[in-house]
Each structure stands twice: as C-alpha cells, then as structure tokens.
A and B are shown apart, each in its own frame.
Chain A
C-alpha cells in the first residue's frame, strides 16, 4: 500500500517542556458544497447536526464539521471516513486530505504563540473549546480549531506546511528547550 508522505518530514523538530507542537496526521478532510436550498438538510441527514455558525465547529462522533463558507462545509474524520462516498451525488464533494496538514499545539503558552501569528482573539474566555476561525498565518489561509483548554489544531495548506511550521515554531522559540 502507498504510504502518505508528510509535508513536514524535513521540518526541524520543536522540543519544549511547556508546549508541544507536532504534526497530527491521520485524518480525512473533505469539502462539501451545495447550491440548492435543500443542501444543508441533505447533508445533516447523513452527517448529523451541522455547526450553526462559522465560529463553532460541530463534533459528531469521530467527525468534526466546520462551516467554512456560504453553503460550504469541511468534514474532518478518521482516515477510514466514508462521508465522501455516502454524500457522493448529493452535493459537490472535494477531497482535500492531501492538500492540508494538521499542526497541533498543546500547552499553557499555546494561546500566546497563536496570538503572535494571527489577528484573532485567542483569550481563554473568548476562544474556547470548539471555537474555530478561518484566518491567515504568514499570508496563507489557515483554519484554527480549539480542541482543549490550551490545545489547538491548525489546518494549513500542504504547499505552505514548512513555512507555517517555521512561523509557528519561531513564534514559540522562547518556550523551546534550547535555542
């Protein structure tokens, strides 16, 4: 079987006692879009509850759903997710798994690091578990998802993966074990 090659295979590892930054591979990302008025009903009949606003991601079992544009959703599921085949023909289905990398940050300094990189309020009282933001990091679009008290996933374009990795780990240098 063909193995997926990480876009971050050559990235310089980040080591810190307080903050973990690592690629989190092993996901399926698919975009679903529809133009007819019934699109969201069709989608929720298969997928379950949809997020009602952009700023909140909806977790249904193993799937996380983001509302990423007008009549556009991203579904992040396990590698074996069959959402795409179950929705084929009902709406426009675009596989994006190989176009994005997922970088996870976890630890107390994570919010401070993110705040240096993106024009989003990452305060613990504002950007809470389940919040999501479509924003930009180093001039490239990224999606940020709060997955825990101080845990975040960044979805970045594969072609910019190293650049985004460098930007994130540079912003976190002061928390690194050695400089």
Chain B
C-alpha cells in the first residue's frame, strides 16, 4: 500500500506510523468528567469503510497528516490536511 505523504509524495506504507482515528474530538482541557476522558482515551470505534486517520511519515520527513482511507478496501482518498 502506498500512502501520499504531502511532502515526499507516494511512499510505501512501511515508512509510516499510524496515528489513530482523526475524527475523535479531544475534550476541552479541564472540562468533562472522568467518564468523558476515559471514553476519549480508551474507547475506539472499529469502522468498516470510510475512515479519517492520522499518519506520520516517521522514516521520511517526519510529517504528520490526516488521510482518508477505506478500511474495508484500503482505497486511499485525499490527504485531508
């Protein structure tokens, strides 16, 4: 699988580190109860289909970016940012 690094171009997935679900919203600092933070840190969806996720080109330019990927087909979409 090739991933489109916004800096280096299309590169092999083995050069990247997966950074997790990019659609999760971190609770505002100092707000929410323990349950809110527990859910944010420890509970993850395991979606089949379209997914937005963080990746880092850790063996290349070290840049983080958001990528749209279909978890069922590994179809790569746009770099979101």
| Residues of chain A at the chain B interface (Cβ within 8 Å) | 54-55, 68-70, 72, 119-120, 134-136, 140-141
Contact = CB atoms under 8 A, between A and B. Distances in A.
Contact of B7 (A69, A120, A135, A140): A69
24 contacts: A54-B7, A54-B61, A55-B8, A68-B61, A69-B61, A69-B62, A69-B63, A70-B7, A70-B63, A72-B61, A119-B11, A119-B12, A119-B15, A120-B12, A134-B59, A134-B60, A135-B11, A135-B59, A135-B60, A136-B14, A136-B15, A136-B60, A141-B59, A141-B60
Contacts of B9: 54-55
B63 A136 contact: no
Interface of B is mostly: loop
A70 B63 CA distance: 8
Interface of B: 7-9, 11-12, 14-15, 58-63
Task: Name the residue in A70, A72, A136 with the highest tally of chain B Cβ atoms < 10 Å from its Cβ.
Answer: A136
